Amino acid sequence: MYLDSNKKKTIFKKYGDTEKNTGKSESQIAIFTERINHLTNYLKENKKDKSTKKSLVLLVGKRRRMLEYLKNKDIARYREIVKSLKLRK
């Protein structure tokens, strides 16, 4: 699988301070971004897969809502996560 437990642990450790801190907004946004990137690459090859496309749209919406929550809660953390994940150009 593209997102095994070791990769998740490294993402949680990088963005959530510890590998067991899975509830932090930054770590959840990082996991969503990893899944979005994977699905985007998959859809480049399989253009007619409508269910995956719907899942991708739902994930982008979840990440957008999570980013909006973080922006309202703490703008410094929001700017840091956007910069580290390179979400805005």
- Domains annotated for the chain, with CATH where assigned, are 25-39+46-89 (1.10.287.10)
State the chain's mean pLDDT as an integer.
92
Give the integer Cα–Cα distance in Å for 57 and 49. Answer: 13
Q: What is the mean pLDDT of residues 5-10?
A: 90
Question: Model pTM?
Answer: 0.90
* CA-based nearest residue to 22, from 6, 31, 56: 31
DSSP code of 18?
S
